[in-house]
Amino acid sequence: MGDDGAVIVDLSNYELVWPTSLFVSEGERILRTNGSRSSWEDRVEWLLTEALVGSTAVADFQEVEAPHSGWGSTRESRFRGDTREDWFSELISRASEIRPALAPRPYWPQRQGRGLSADGSTARDTRRNFARIVADFADNGYLAEQFGQECVDGPDDLPDASALIARRLGIPGLWPLAPTVWDEDTFYGLIEVFHDLVSRPRLRSFHSYGGCGWHHSEFHNGPARILYRAKINELLREAGAEYELAAEGEDLGRLVAVTDDARRQLVHRVLNDSPPTVAIRVRHAIALFRARDASLESKRSAIVAAVGILEERRALIRDDLGKPDDGALFEIANRFDLRHRRADQLANYNDAFLDWIFWWYLATVELTNKLIEAAEPLKAGTASEPPF
């Protein structure tokens, strides 16, 4: 907002194609950036170009009056009295108000069931759409750090992109992408590989000589992977796939079984709130259980890992539940064919029980995290009491 508190950014014409949190984090980073005026403005315009639909936001930014000293000269504009820093700062602070970009409603051929499927749900169309997403990333310089970038003044010995992918995936000849020849394993493997290859260029400059085009620099894989996961997971949801790219944990960037929001949030809390030594084991247990190709043995191992954490905290559980109620938490693990494998254990049960048992134990790990956290202030308070 301006110095008088008036709104200077009209958000009504903007649509956001990035996740809001990513747009805000990259915008706030730009606001903290030191450097030349032209470099700062280039970063802003590149972010606006990437994150918002069309060129409207860039045009509005360019119309804002430049500062009176230091970074340039003033000029007439409909934003007179406010600086580009004011405008951009307000835009970032109000990012949650920008409406997300929506896919266009189906056109006539799609409504009549002709041409490509309206929702991209067929395997063929999903793979083509994936190739288009990767092409968009490549056009915006997100593969330049790994694949190199052609330049009329530069060397011709760029890295062999196909060989680079083959070293990771073990399959030659996958670049350029040819979605019509992929089997399912190749397709899913490429989804995971490109998650690890993308890196966002935070700055670009135009090389006009010989029509060379944009050059990209200052790469960072963090924001690129967030954006990549958002686009790929949306693609997989539209296709009705049962997998998504994991956003955290030991299996970060790998395809895992889709869960509901409540369990996704549970995973986030347990991963982030557990002590480091426990978090390592939790990450491994979660990765074992939700892997795309998780076997029944992997799921049993994940449950055993979670139970092991609770066994170490049994005294804490007993203090809160009392004996013998604490034993109820371990009865399932002991009576079912999970860890001890005794003849008297129950083995003839539906595999769906493994899901219930795992998420119940993971939630119990979270419960014990909270009990430990609640007890720590009491211990600190007792230790700091005056001796009278």
For every residue of 65-102, DSSP letters joined together read PPPSSSS------TTTTS-HHHHHHHHHHTGGGSEEP-
Coil vs helix vs strand at 207: strand
Asked if 152 and 192 sit in the same domain, the reply is: yes
Looking at the predicted structure, is the pLDDT value of residue 345 above 60?
no
Residue 184 falls within a domain, yes or no?
yes
As a whole number, mean pLDDT of residues 104-133 equals 76
Neighbours of 134 (CB within 10 A): 24
Looking at the predicted structure, is the pLDDT value of residue 88 above 60?
yes
pLDDT on residue 348: 59
As a whole number, mean pLDDT of residues 121-133 equals 88
Asked if 203 and 286 sit in the same domain, the reply is: no
Alpha helices in the chain (DSSP H): 20-32, 37-51, 56-63, 84-93, 108-111, 123-139, 144-147, 161-169, 184-197, 221-238, 261-273, 276-290, 296-312, 314-321, 328-335, 352-383
According to DSSP, the residues that pair with 346 across neighbouring strands are 336
Asked if 264 and 214 sit in the same domain, the reply is: no
Least confident of 79-93, 131-145, 263-277: 79-93
Sequence-distant (6+) residues with CB within 8 A of 298 are 288, 289, 291
Residue 231 falls within a domain, yes or no?
yes
> What share of the chain in percent tops pLDDT 70?
82
Asked if 182 and 266 sit in the same domain, the reply is: no
- Condensed to tens digits (0 to 9), the pLDDT of residues 33-43 reads 988 889 999 99
As a whole number, mean pLDDT of residues 5-32 equals 93
As a whole number, mean pLDDT of residues 209-219 equals 93
Asked if 31 and 73 sit in the same domain, the reply is: yes
Asked if 303 and 364 sit in the same domain, the reply is: yes
Q: Which residue has the tokens 């709130």?
A: 273
Residue 111 falls within a domain, yes or no?
no
Asked if 83 and 35 sit in the same domain, the reply is: yes
Residue 94 falls within a domain, yes or no?
yes
| Number of domains making up the chain | 3
As a whole number, mean pLDDT of residues 261-266 equals 95
pLDDT on residue 79: 45
Looking at the predicted structure, is the pLDDT value of residue 2 above 70?
no
- Token pair of 6, please? 């008036």
pLDDT on residue 333: 67
As a whole number, mean pLDDT of residues 166-183 equals 97
Asked if 92 and 182 sit in the same domain, the reply is: no
Q: Which residue has the higher pLDDT, 140 or 335?
A: 140
Among 170, 205, 238, the domain-final residue is: 238
Asked if 313 and 198 sit in the same domain, the reply is: no
- Condensed to tens digits (0 to 9), the pLDDT of residues 289-306 reads 999 889 988 998 999 899
Residue 244 falls within a domain, yes or no?
no
Least confident of 85-94, 169-178, 295-304: 295-304
Q: Which residue has the higher pLDDT, 56 or 67?
A: 56
Looking at the predicted structure, is the pLDDT value of residue 340 above 60?
no
pLDDT on residue 77: 43
As a whole number, mean pLDDT of residues 76-80 equals 44
What's the CA dihedral at 142, 143, 146, 150 to 10 degrees?
-110
Residue 5 falls within a domain, yes or no?
no
Residue 335 falls within a domain, yes or no?
yes
Asked if 263 and 379 sit in the same domain, the reply is: yes
- Token pair of 176, please? 């350029």
Q: Which is nearest to 6 in space by CA: 84, 59, 82?
A: 82
As a whole number, mean pLDDT of residues 117-130 equals 74
What's the CA dihedral at 353, 354, 360, 363 to 10 degrees?
-150
Task: Determine which helix (DSSP H) or strand (DSSP E) holds 220, and give its type and residue range.
Answer: strand 213-220
Asked if 81 and 189 sit in the same domain, the reply is: no
Looking at the predicted structure, is the pLDDT value of residue 228 above 90?
yes
- Kindly report the pTM of this predicted structure: 0.85
40 lies in which domain range? 11-100
As a whole number, mean pLDDT of residues 153-175 equals 93
Residue 6 falls within a domain, yes or no?
no
pLDDT on residue 74: 41
| Average per-residue pLDDT for the chain | 86
Asked if 273 and 362 sit in the same domain, the reply is: yes
As a whole number, mean pLDDT of residues 361-365 equals 94
Residue 331's pLDDT band, with cuts at 50, 70 and 90, is: confident
Among 37, 72, 100, the domain-final residue is: 100
pLDDT on residue 174: 98
Looking at the predicted structure, is the pLDDT value of residue 238 above 80?
yes
Among 238, 267, 283, the domain-final residue is: 238
